[in-house]
Amino acid sequence: MQDIRKALYVGSRSDGTLIQRPMSPHLQVYRYRLSMVLSISNRITGVIATAGAALGVFWLGAAAKGPKSFATARKVTGNPLGQLVLVGWLASVVYHTVGGIRHLIWDAGYRYDKEELNKDGPVAVGVTAGVSTVLAAALLAVAGCRRSKRAKAGKVS
Amino acid sequence: MNASVPHIEVMRSQLGRARGLGAGHSGVGHWWAERVSAASLLPLSTWFVVQMFRLGGADHAEVVKWGGKPVNATMLAALIITTFYHAQVGLQVIVDDYVHGKAHLPTRLLIKIGTSLMGLLGVFAVIKLVVRSGSGK
């Protein structure tokens, strides 16, 4: 036993055999609530946002290194799979921002009652979906327009 | 103590209560660091999204010209530093919560080193962009 806290989780069955009691919170006993999905989602999207920021730094590094490396980076950002990753990054950042704003509101002492939390949850999901969709569509359209314009002008890359 | 005098029924010195640091002797600073960097990221990331509308589908020369402008370079460096600082503070909480035992310290160090290096790489990329656009290449 490495952790002293684990000693507190040793219980015994009615027949006397020792058993390790489950730790709380053990998710399988809780009824599904939107708030618990939104809570863990804030952490998950935070991790994804960090990974995306690292990719963004690599993009910037490629631009700093020279036209050749930047052409490679553009192959990734212009690829449908790469754009799917970018949209995922965008959506994660948007949700993490919405969740973060909610956290700042809670820290200020507002909207932290049960009814308010349950009311705001679906709003957060709606705002995230709406803002992400609009931003992703607009950004992809702008990038696509610029690319095709350049292709028409006959410039390479 | 006189029962009529109002006092707090907690096994804690008044000095400890006034300092407000709790049993861990720290934590308030970490909490503030997370909130302040989060609030700073709101305008910075909004700026970045707006810039992405200008840069979507841009070629190398356009990106270099954009990154070389002093205001853009400043905002970009501020965004990168704040982002990876916030990531460091946030990921540390996740590691503290989910990684136990012997793996905890190395994972925490890895987070610290990784986010710091990514931030440095970003800042040096910005500096290189500024130099590049200054030399007209």
- For the stretch B61-107, pLDDT in tens is 999 999 999 999 999 999 999 999 999 999 999 999 999 899 999 99
Does B45 or B25 have the greater pLDDT score?
B45
Nearest by CB to residue A46, choosing from B42, B90, B121, is B90
Given pLDDT bands bounded at 50, 70 and 90, which one contains residue B137? Answer: low
- B-chain CB neighbours of A103 within 8 Å are 38
Per-residue pLDDT of chain A (157 residues; tens, 9 = 90+): 566 767 777 788 888 788 887 766 667 778 888 999 999 999 999 999 999 999 999 999 999 999 999 999 999 998 999 999 999 999 999 999 999 999 999 999 999 999 999 999 999 999 999 999 999 999 999 999 998 888 888 755 5
How far off is chain A from B26, nearest CA to CA, in Å?
Answer: 18
Task: Tally Cβ neighbours within 10 Å of residue A93.
Answer: 23
pLDDT of residue B8: 55
Query: Domain locations in chain A?
Result: 33-153
How far off is chain A from B14, nearest CA to CA, in Å?
Answer: 25
Exposure string (b/e) for A111-135, b if CB count within 10 Å is 16 or more?
eeeeeebeebbeebbebbeebbeeb
pLDDT of residue A47: 97
- A-chain CB neighbours of B79 within 8 Å are none
B84/A53 Cβ within 8 A? yes
Amino acid in position A69: S
pLDDT of residue A116: 95
pLDDT of residue A18: 83
Residue A62, CB-side half-sphere exposure with 13 Å CA sphere: 18
pLDDT of residue A42: 97
pLDDT of residue A80: 94
B49/A57 Cβ within 8 A? no
Mean pLDDT of chain B: 89
B126/A64 Cβ within 8 A? yes
**DSSP alpha helix (H) spans, chain A:** 4-7, 34-65, 67-78, 80-107, 114-153
Specify whether domain B25-134 bears CATH 3.75.10.20.
Answer: no
Best mutation site among A45, A48, A58, A60 for testing chain B: the one with the most B CBs within 10 Å?
A: A60
Nearest by CB to residue A60, choosing from B57, B101, B122, is B122
pLDDT of residue B14: 73
A104/B39 Cβ within 8 A? yes
How far off is chain B from A142, nearest CA to CA, in Å?
Answer: 6
Query: Domain locations in chain B?
Result: 25-134
Does B16 or A151 have the greater pLDDT score?
A151
Best mutation site among A5, A44, A57, A145 for testing chain B: the one with the most B CBs within 10 Å?
A: A57
Query: Looking at the DSSP assignment, which residues form a beta bridge with residue A20?
Result: A10
A99 and A53 in contact (C-beta within 8 Å)? no
Q: Is the torsion defined by CA of A67, A71, A77, A82 positive or negative? A: negative
CATH fold for the domain made of A33-153: 3 helical TM bundles of succinate and fumarate reductases (1.20.1300)
How far off is chain B from A26, nearest CA to CA, in Å?
Answer: 14
